[in-house]
Amino acid sequence: MRISKILAFVGLFILFGRLTSEAQETLFEFGERKDFNALINGMPEAQTLKWFDVNTTDTTWYRDGDKLVCKGLPIGVVRSEKMYQNFIMHVEWRHMEKGGNSGIFVWCDAQPEEHNRLPSGVEVQMLELDWVNQNKRNGETPPIAYVHGELFGAGKVTTEPDNPRGVRSKSIENRCLGVGEWNKYTVVCVDGTIKLAVNGKFVNGIRESSKRRGYLCLESEGAQIEFRSLQIIELEDGYILPEHVVKEL
């Protein structure tokens, strides 16, 4: 009897290990990470970024040469292998459908909400320009600043906007290009403050984020989008409290 219980326990342990391993299996590799100190000291060794599925599928994303293609369905996210605190992110993106919707979450918990399948974090918005024409509200067209880099705390995360549109922060200048054209984002994240440059100029920011260390999440939200040239430069850690850190997965 005792031996059978031990064998059953061992079997469950092995099964749990397999399930954990499968849950953490890399969905794809895309982008690279560099350490700032190594970079300035002339040793810019890059590490490839690994991404895990959260609530999309293995057919939602695929590599096409140097590009990562997201089909847009189902709505959900993939997450980075590790968490990040202070860093600079460069990414290029383009929508392939008019009115397409997507974004990247930073300082994210990678835990989807039931009502919208999206996690809590700071979202760096990526909407195609025609979105405002396709989503009029009470007959009024939303401001174009909404589509190209609005920053906001999503889910349980709160922020203070530099350029308020309610609790969200809008870009002060429209620099976004339309469907099929590549846009460049530079996102600087330091100690609860984020500054965003769109196509070569800083145009938006938030501060006092309630989360300041978490995962990166790429968003699938109903339309095909392509990413390329994703680079993360990790900076030195700053002052941080336990409540600023998301739960490690």
Query: Is 227 in contact with 218 (CB distance < 8 Å)?
Result: yes
Q: Which tens digits make up the pLDDT trace of 175-198?
A: 999 999 999 999 999 999 999 999
pLDDT band at residue 9 under the 50/70/90 scheme: very low
Query: Is the predicted pLDDT of residue 6 greater than 70, yes or no?
Result: no
Cα–Cα–Cα angle for 114, 116, 122, rounded to 5 degrees: 105
Question: How do the domains of the chain map onto residue ranges?
Answer: 26-244
Q: At 12, phi and psi to the nearest 5?
A: -65, -40
* pTM for this prediction: 0.89
pLDDT of residue 17: 43
pLDDT of residue 33: 97
pLDDT band at residue 23 under the 50/70/90 scheme: low
Query: Is the predicted pLDDT of residue 103 greater than 70, yes or no?
Result: yes
Which CA distances in Å does 112 have to 33, 77, 138, 212?
Answer: 25, 8, 30, 18
CB atoms within 10 A of CB 8: 10
pLDDT of residue 179: 96
**CATH classification (class only), 26-244:** mainly beta
